[in-house]
Homo-oligomer: A and B are copies of this chain.
Amino acid sequence: MDPHLLRTFVAVARLASFSGAARELGYTQSAVSQHIAALEGDLRAELLTRRPVAPTAAGVRLLEHAGPLLLRLDAARADVLRLAAAPPGRVTLAASPLAVGPRLLAALPATGVTLRVLPPAEVPAAVATGGCDLGLVDGPAAPSDPLRLPDVAPLTVTGAGEEELAVLLPEGHPFAGRAAVRLDDLADARWIDAPGIGLPLTAARASVRYEGTDLLALCALAAAGHGLVLLPRRVAEAAGAGVAVPLSAPRLVHRTELLSPGAPTGAAAALAARLTAGSPV
Protein backbone atom coordinates (compact mmCIF):
# COMPACT_ATOMS: atom_id res chain seq x y z
CA MET A 1 0.00 0.00 0.00
CA ASP A 2 2.76 2.41 -0.96
CA PRO A 3 1.24 5.84 -1.70
CA HIS A 4 2.97 5.79 -5.08
CA LEU A 5 1.07 2.67 -6.03
CA LEU A 6 -2.14 4.22 -4.79
CA ARG A 7 -1.54 7.35 -6.83
CA THR A 8 -0.92 5.25 -9.92
CA PHE A 9 -4.06 3.28 -9.23
CA VAL A 10 -6.31 6.33 -9.02
CA ALA A 11 -4.76 7.73 -12.18
CA VAL A 12 -5.38 4.50 -14.06
CA ALA A 13 -8.94 4.31 -12.78
CA ARG A 14 -9.64 7.93 -13.66
CA LEU A 15 -8.20 7.70 -17.17
CA ALA A 16 -9.37 4.12 -17.69
CA SER A 17 -6.00 3.44 -19.24
CA PHE A 18 -2.62 2.13 -18.16
CA SER A 19 -0.74 3.93 -20.89
CA GLY A 20 -2.63 7.17 -20.25
CA ALA A 21 -1.75 7.05 -16.57
CA ALA A 22 1.86 6.32 -17.51
CA ARG A 23 2.00 9.43 -19.68
CA GLU A 24 0.44 11.55 -16.97
CA LEU A 25 2.73 10.32 -14.23
CA GLY A 26 5.92 10.20 -16.25
CA TYR A 27 6.30 6.44 -16.07
CA THR A 28 6.38 3.77 -18.74
CA GLN A 29 3.38 1.52 -19.37
CA SER A 30 5.44 -1.27 -17.89
CA ALA A 31 5.96 0.49 -14.58
CA VAL A 32 2.26 1.24 -14.29
CA SER A 33 1.45 -2.38 -14.97
CA GLN A 34 3.88 -3.42 -12.27
CA HIS A 35 2.38 -0.94 -9.83
CA ILE A 36 -1.10 -2.33 -10.31
CA ALA A 37 0.18 -5.89 -10.15
CA ALA A 38 1.96 -5.08 -6.88
CA LEU A 39 -1.21 -3.59 -5.39
CA GLU A 40 -3.34 -6.51 -6.51
CA GLY A 41 -0.82 -8.96 -5.16
CA ASP A 42 -0.63 -7.15 -1.84
CA LEU A 43 -4.39 -6.94 -1.42
CA ARG A 44 -4.96 -10.37 -2.94
CA ALA A 45 -7.79 -9.08 -5.08
CA GLU A 46 -8.32 -7.98 -8.65
CA LEU A 47 -8.76 -4.23 -8.59
CA LEU A 48 -9.22 -3.49 -12.28
CA THR A 49 -10.70 -5.25 -15.24
CA ARG A 50 -8.54 -4.85 -18.34
CA ARG A 51 -10.00 -4.16 -21.66
CA PRO A 52 -11.96 -2.21 -20.90
CA VAL A 53 -10.04 -0.84 -17.92
CA ALA A 54 -12.53 -0.31 -15.12
CA PRO A 55 -12.41 -0.77 -11.35
CA THR A 56 -13.88 -3.95 -9.88
CA ALA A 57 -15.97 -3.91 -6.70
CA ALA A 58 -12.78 -4.09 -4.64
CA GLY A 59 -11.26 -1.40 -6.82
CA VAL A 60 -14.19 0.92 -6.24
CA ARG A 61 -13.83 0.40 -2.53
CA LEU A 62 -10.13 1.17 -2.66
CA LEU A 63 -10.80 4.30 -4.69
CA GLU A 64 -13.11 5.59 -1.97
CA HIS A 65 -10.24 5.31 0.48
CA ALA A 66 -7.47 6.47 -1.80
CA GLY A 67 -8.70 10.00 -2.44
CA PRO A 68 -8.90 11.21 1.17
CA LEU A 69 -5.77 9.26 1.99
CA LEU A 70 -3.61 10.93 -0.64
CA LEU A 71 -5.12 14.28 0.23
CA ARG A 72 -4.16 13.87 3.87
CA LEU A 73 -0.70 12.79 2.88
CA ASP A 74 -0.20 15.87 0.77
CA ALA A 75 -1.64 17.98 3.58
CA ALA A 76 0.76 16.57 6.14
CA ARG A 77 3.72 17.12 3.87
CA ALA A 78 2.71 20.64 2.93
CA ASP A 79 1.96 21.55 6.52
CA VAL A 80 5.36 20.58 7.88
CA LEU A 81 7.17 22.11 4.92
CA ARG A 82 5.28 25.36 5.42
CA LEU A 83 6.21 25.37 9.09
CA ALA A 84 9.86 25.09 8.17
CA ALA A 85 9.70 27.78 5.50
CA ALA A 86 10.09 31.39 6.51
CA PRO A 87 6.79 33.10 7.30
CA PRO A 88 5.90 35.01 4.13
CA GLY A 89 5.00 38.66 4.20
CA ARG A 90 2.30 37.99 1.66
CA VAL A 91 -0.77 36.12 2.93
CA THR A 92 -3.02 34.00 0.74
CA LEU A 93 -6.62 33.65 1.88
CA ALA A 94 -8.96 31.06 0.41
CA ALA A 95 -12.64 31.88 0.72
CA SER A 96 -15.92 30.44 -0.49
CA PRO A 97 -18.08 32.95 -2.37
CA LEU A 98 -20.58 33.55 0.43
CA ALA A 99 -17.78 34.08 2.92
CA VAL A 100 -16.79 37.22 1.07
CA GLY A 101 -18.79 39.74 3.05
CA PRO A 102 -18.39 43.11 4.74
CA ARG A 103 -16.46 41.55 7.58
CA LEU A 104 -13.82 40.20 5.24
CA LEU A 105 -13.67 43.39 3.21
CA ALA A 106 -13.15 45.43 6.36
CA ALA A 107 -10.48 43.12 7.69
CA LEU A 108 -8.33 43.11 4.59
CA PRO A 109 -5.24 45.22 4.98
CA ALA A 110 -4.27 47.59 2.23
CA THR A 111 -1.63 45.37 0.68
CA GLY A 112 0.00 41.98 0.89
CA VAL A 113 -3.06 39.76 0.66
CA THR A 114 -4.12 37.44 -2.12
CA LEU A 115 -7.76 36.42 -2.10
CA ARG A 116 -8.67 33.17 -3.81
CA VAL A 117 -12.35 32.31 -4.19
CA LEU A 118 -13.07 28.58 -4.33
CA PRO A 119 -16.09 26.31 -3.94
CA PRO A 120 -16.60 25.71 -0.20
CA ALA A 121 -15.78 22.03 -0.54
CA GLU A 122 -12.31 22.87 -1.79
CA VAL A 123 -11.36 25.44 0.82
CA PRO A 124 -10.29 23.00 3.56
CA ALA A 125 -8.08 21.14 1.10
CA ALA A 126 -6.58 24.38 -0.16
CA VAL A 127 -5.60 25.38 3.35
CA ALA A 128 -4.42 21.91 4.31
CA THR A 129 -2.29 21.23 1.28
CA GLY A 130 -0.64 24.55 1.60
CA GLY A 131 -1.78 26.70 -1.25
CA CYS A 132 -3.30 29.10 1.25
CA ASP A 133 -2.40 30.39 4.69
CA LEU A 134 -5.96 30.91 5.88
CA GLY A 135 -9.40 29.81 4.74
CA LEU A 136 -12.92 31.12 5.18
CA VAL A 137 -15.74 28.64 4.67
CA ASP A 138 -19.42 29.12 5.11
CA GLY A 139 -22.48 27.00 5.39
CA PRO A 140 -25.83 26.64 7.10
CA ALA A 141 -25.84 25.57 10.73
CA ALA A 142 -27.96 25.70 13.84
CA PRO A 143 -27.14 28.87 15.78
CA SER A 144 -23.70 28.65 17.43
CA ASP A 145 -23.20 25.13 16.09
CA PRO A 146 -19.97 24.48 14.22
CA LEU A 147 -20.07 23.62 10.54
CA ARG A 148 -19.68 20.06 9.37
CA LEU A 149 -16.43 20.15 7.52
CA PRO A 150 -14.57 17.24 5.98
CA ASP A 151 -11.52 16.66 8.13
CA VAL A 152 -8.77 16.47 5.56
CA ALA A 153 -6.21 17.40 8.17
CA PRO A 154 -6.07 18.69 11.73
CA LEU A 155 -7.05 22.31 11.06
CA THR A 156 -7.75 24.97 13.64
CA VAL A 157 -11.36 26.14 13.28
CA THR A 158 -12.63 29.44 14.66
CA GLY A 159 -16.06 30.97 14.31
CA ALA A 160 -16.06 34.14 12.22
CA GLY A 161 -19.61 35.31 12.20
CA GLU A 162 -23.23 34.28 11.79
CA GLU A 163 -25.91 35.87 9.67
CA GLU A 164 -29.60 35.49 9.06
CA LEU A 165 -30.68 33.37 6.10
CA ALA A 166 -33.20 34.20 3.42
CA VAL A 167 -34.73 32.52 0.40
CA LEU A 168 -34.40 34.34 -2.90
CA LEU A 169 -37.72 34.11 -4.78
CA PRO A 170 -38.58 35.39 -8.24
CA GLU A 171 -40.88 38.41 -8.38
CA GLY A 172 -44.48 37.30 -8.37
CA HIS A 173 -43.84 34.10 -6.45
CA PRO A 174 -46.82 33.26 -4.19
CA PHE A 175 -44.62 33.74 -1.10
CA ALA A 176 -42.89 36.85 -2.38
CA GLY A 177 -44.92 39.15 -0.18
CA ARG A 178 -44.47 37.26 3.04
CA ALA A 179 -42.46 38.55 5.96
CA ALA A 180 -40.87 35.13 6.49
CA VAL A 181 -41.05 31.57 5.16
CA ARG A 182 -40.60 28.15 6.65
CA LEU A 183 -38.49 25.63 4.77
CA ASP A 184 -41.35 23.15 5.09
CA ASP A 185 -43.60 25.48 3.10
CA LEU A 186 -41.14 25.18 0.24
CA ALA A 187 -40.78 21.43 0.46
CA ASP A 188 -42.19 20.92 -3.01
CA ALA A 189 -40.41 23.86 -4.59
CA ARG A 190 -37.65 23.55 -7.15
CA TRP A 191 -34.24 24.48 -5.87
CA ILE A 192 -31.03 25.31 -7.66
CA ASP A 193 -28.14 23.07 -6.73
CA ALA A 194 -24.98 25.19 -6.68
CA PRO A 195 -22.14 23.15 -5.22
CA GLY A 196 -19.64 25.84 -6.14
CA ILE A 197 -21.38 28.33 -3.92
CA GLY A 198 -22.76 26.28 -1.11
CA LEU A 199 -25.74 25.46 1.01
CA PRO A 200 -26.33 22.00 -0.48
CA LEU A 201 -29.40 21.54 1.67
CA THR A 202 -31.71 20.26 -0.95
CA ALA A 203 -29.52 18.77 -3.64
CA ALA A 204 -31.84 15.82 -3.90
CA ARG A 205 -34.79 17.86 -5.13
CA ALA A 206 -32.77 20.22 -7.26
CA SER A 207 -33.87 20.66 -10.82
CA VAL A 208 -31.25 23.07 -12.08
CA ARG A 209 -27.61 22.66 -11.33
CA TYR A 210 -25.29 25.63 -11.42
CA GLU A 211 -21.56 25.04 -11.57
CA GLY A 212 -19.40 28.03 -10.88
CA THR A 213 -18.65 30.47 -8.12
CA ASP A 214 -20.33 33.59 -9.42
CA LEU A 215 -23.03 34.81 -7.08
CA LEU A 216 -24.47 37.27 -9.53
CA ALA A 217 -25.16 34.54 -12.06
CA LEU A 218 -26.82 32.38 -9.43
CA CYS A 219 -29.06 35.21 -8.25
CA ALA A 220 -30.03 35.93 -11.81
CA LEU A 221 -31.04 32.31 -12.31
CA ALA A 222 -33.15 32.42 -9.17
CA ALA A 223 -34.76 35.75 -10.00
CA ALA A 224 -35.65 34.41 -13.43
CA GLY A 225 -37.64 31.66 -11.80
CA HIS A 226 -35.38 28.70 -12.52
CA GLY A 227 -35.45 27.68 -8.91
CA LEU A 228 -35.00 28.92 -5.35
CA VAL A 229 -31.74 29.58 -3.53
CA LEU A 230 -30.95 29.85 0.14
CA LEU A 231 -28.57 32.73 0.82
CA PRO A 232 -27.46 35.01 3.61
CA ARG A 233 -30.20 37.65 3.87
CA ARG A 234 -27.66 40.38 3.18
CA VAL A 235 -26.72 38.77 -0.14
CA ALA A 236 -30.27 37.95 -1.15
CA GLU A 237 -31.41 41.51 -0.54
CA ALA A 238 -28.50 42.99 -2.42
CA ALA A 239 -29.13 40.76 -5.40
CA GLY A 240 -30.91 43.51 -7.30
CA ALA A 241 -33.49 41.14 -8.71
CA GLY A 242 -35.98 38.78 -7.11
CA VAL A 243 -37.39 39.04 -3.62
CA ALA A 244 -35.56 38.03 -0.45
CA VAL A 245 -37.74 36.48 2.24
CA PRO A 246 -36.13 35.65 5.59
CA LEU A 247 -36.21 32.09 6.83
CA SER A 248 -38.10 31.58 10.05
CA ALA A 249 -37.89 27.82 10.50
CA PRO A 250 -35.97 25.67 10.98
CA ARG A 251 -33.73 27.94 12.99
CA LEU A 252 -30.69 28.01 10.78
CA VAL A 253 -28.05 30.66 10.33
CA HIS A 254 -25.41 31.29 7.74
CA ARG A 255 -22.18 30.62 9.56
CA THR A 256 -18.67 31.53 8.54
CA GLU A 257 -15.59 29.85 9.97
CA LEU A 258 -11.91 30.57 9.73
CA LEU A 259 -9.54 27.69 9.05
CA SER A 260 -5.84 27.73 9.67
CA PRO A 261 -3.20 25.03 9.83
CA GLY A 262 -2.09 25.17 13.45
CA ALA A 263 -1.89 28.59 15.02
CA PRO A 264 -1.34 31.31 12.43
CA THR A 265 1.86 33.33 12.60
CA GLY A 266 3.11 36.65 11.33
CA ALA A 267 0.96 38.52 8.87
CA ALA A 268 -1.56 35.65 8.75
CA ALA A 269 -2.11 35.94 12.51
CA ALA A 270 -2.92 39.63 12.24
CA LEU A 271 -5.46 38.99 9.50
CA ALA A 272 -6.96 36.07 11.43
CA ALA A 273 -7.41 38.27 14.48
CA ARG A 274 -9.25 40.93 12.47
CA LEU A 275 -11.45 38.31 10.84
CA THR A 276 -12.58 36.78 14.11
CA ALA A 277 -12.75 39.97 16.18
CA GLY A 278 -15.96 40.08 18.17
CA SER A 279 -16.93 36.68 16.88
CA PRO A 280 -19.94 34.95 18.45
CA VAL A 281 -18.03 31.71 18.93
Measured CB to CB, the residues of A under 8 A from B are 1-3, 43-45, 57-58, 61-62, 64-66, 68-69, 72-73, 75-77, 79-81, 83-84, 142, 148, 150-151, 153-154, 262
Cβ contacts A to B, 13 pairs, < 8 Å: A1-B3, A2-B3, A43-B77, A43-B84, A45-B83, A58-B83, A62-B76, A62-B80, A65-B75, A65-B80, A65-B153, A65-B154, A72-B72
- Contacts A2-B2, A44-B84, A45-B84 hold; do A154 and B79 have CB atoms under 8 A apart? no
Number of copies: 2
B61 touches A80 (CB 8 A): yes
A1 and B75 alpha carbons, distance in the complex (Å): 11
Which secondary structure dominates where chain A touches chain B?
helix
A151 touches B150 (CB 8 A): yes
A249 and B209 alpha carbons, distance in the complex (Å): 39
Residues on B with beta carbons closer than 8 Å to the beta carbon of A66: 76
A68 and B155 alpha carbons, distance in the complex (Å): 13
Q: Whose C-beta in chain B lies nearest to the C-beta of A67? A: B154
A201 and B57 alpha carbons, distance in the complex (Å): 40
Q: Whose C-beta in chain B lies nearest to the C-beta of A154? A: B64
- Contacts A1-B73, A2-B2, A3-B1 hold; do A154 and B68 have CB atoms under 8 A apart? yes
Residues on B with beta carbons closer than 8 Å to the beta carbon of A142: 142
